[in-house]
Copies of this chain bind each other. A is one copy, B any other.
């Protein structure tokens, strides 16, 4: 991996924070173990982290991670051990697994993720097949991934209360790698097989505000445990509903909320002698894929939205209308890889951190959302690929994601700022968000 570089006038605070975390490592791990006994961790997940040196936080938590292809192959053995354990806890007798991927069969990078995910379970000794919800997949269809591997997508079928494939393949575990943004298809409802993650983990049910409400509880308890100000790991947020961006309904209320949050951040910045300019991120509360996201430094920016930006905010993946947003404290990222702004993404399976990568985007600044349209395809060189061949070439050179090549294992004797310790800290932050997701899923069940 290219060395990631941190540039910030607040680096001493980062070192102090990392020292504090490392000094509490046994307490932190014991606390997590106790939490995982009380709260079943999600089957898998990924967390987007922003590091502003004076603050490190999860800014998003994905329960259907789509970047297993971006993990360094050196983590494969850990992935297999974690996957074996996760499967055994779910269905001790499982011999096979049906993966239900997203419908976008033309995204060769996503297909590479599906291949990587399937390989983990294959190498753990499970028979793995892919059942597609895509109405275009009417018969077994071979697709080629970005890396040149072959996937066989088969139409998902239902026999009674069991999902199956045409030849009768009907395993006891079904793994969703589809975030259900377009709603829960009937074929998935009330099946008797173990469906992981559960349907209510999809964006039909999930709300970012609920995740970060749960994160508040987790972060508060964790901050007490290690003796830090909770704000160091937890961004402020507010909710705003009843919006209609096309018709400009609720714009004033949104501006008010933005204004209040910016003031709250400014106050905290002043208390902590931070010179940065506060900003917030306005995101669709049920959004994903970096759609419906705005970075805002003044309430005026949400008042005077032009048609293009209103359209951008109005709908997200699968054409869903956005009526509710989360307004989240923006966290600057002070990390760069090869000169481009970078944010770490941490992958987990069950309660284990597997590895991670850096999402990098040369065209974006430190206060912008990096999971932006085009993010996957704008390489570090800044040259936008013109043909599919160029795009594949860039992929194979891995110029959009910088894989971690070090495990998130603390080296207590080493410099707190060394890369394994930094990744350990990121792994701790990511697990806080994973724990919040566990609480969030429990709340759905209690509410249902």
Residue of B nearest to A24 (CB): B125
Measured CB to CB, the nearest residue on chain B to A128 is: B26
- Complexed CA–CA distance, A81 and B95 (Å): 22
Q: Determine whether the beta carbon of A126 is less than 8 Å from that of B77.
A: no
Closest B residue to A424 using CB positions: B123
Do residues B126 and A26 form an inter-chain contact, with CB atoms below 8 A?
yes
**Contact residues in B for A189 (Cβ distance below 8 Å):** none
Tell me the A12-64 residues at the B interface (CB within 8 Å): 25-26, 28-30, 32-34, 37
Q: Is the CB of A412 within 8 A of B77?
A: no
Q: Mark A82-100, 1 if CB is under 8 A from B, else 0.
A: 1011001000110110000
Interface string of A375-411 (1 = CB under 8 A from B): 0000000000000000000000000000000011110
B409:A77 contact, CB within 8 angstroms: yes
| Of B30, B37, B76, B92, the contact of A95 (CB 8 Å cutoff) | B30
**Residues of chain B with a CB closer than 8 A to A82's CB:** 81
Chain B neighbourhood of A34, CB < 8 A: 93
A80 contacts the other chain (Cβ, under 8 Å)? yes
Given A33-B88, A81-B81, A95-B30, CB of A123 within 8 Å of CB of B76: no
- B125→A30 contact, CB < 8 A: yes
Instruction: Please report the C-alpha to C-alpha distance between residue A409 and residue B120 in the assembled complex, in whole angstroms.
Output: 10
Given A26-B95, A33-B88, A95-B30, A123 and B410 touching (CB < 8 A)?
Answer: yes
Q: Closest B-chain residue to A95, C-beta based?
A: B30
A158 on the interface (CB 8 Å rule)?
A: no
Contacts A/B (CB < 8 Å), 21 sampled = A26-B96, A26-B122, A26-B126, A29-B124, A29-B125, A29-B126, A30-B95, A33-B88, A33-B93, A33-B125, A37-B93, A74-B74, A75-B77, A76-B409, A77-B77, A77-B408, A77-B409, A81-B82, A85-B85, A122-B412, A123-B410
Q: How many whole Å from A151's CB to the nearest CB in chain B?
A: 14
Smallest CB–CB gap between A45 and chain B, Å?
Answer: 16
Residues B409 and A33 in contact, CB atoms below 8 Å apart: no
A352 at the interface (CB under 8 A from B): yes
- Contact A125 to B407, CB < 8 A, known contacts A75-B77, A78-B77: no
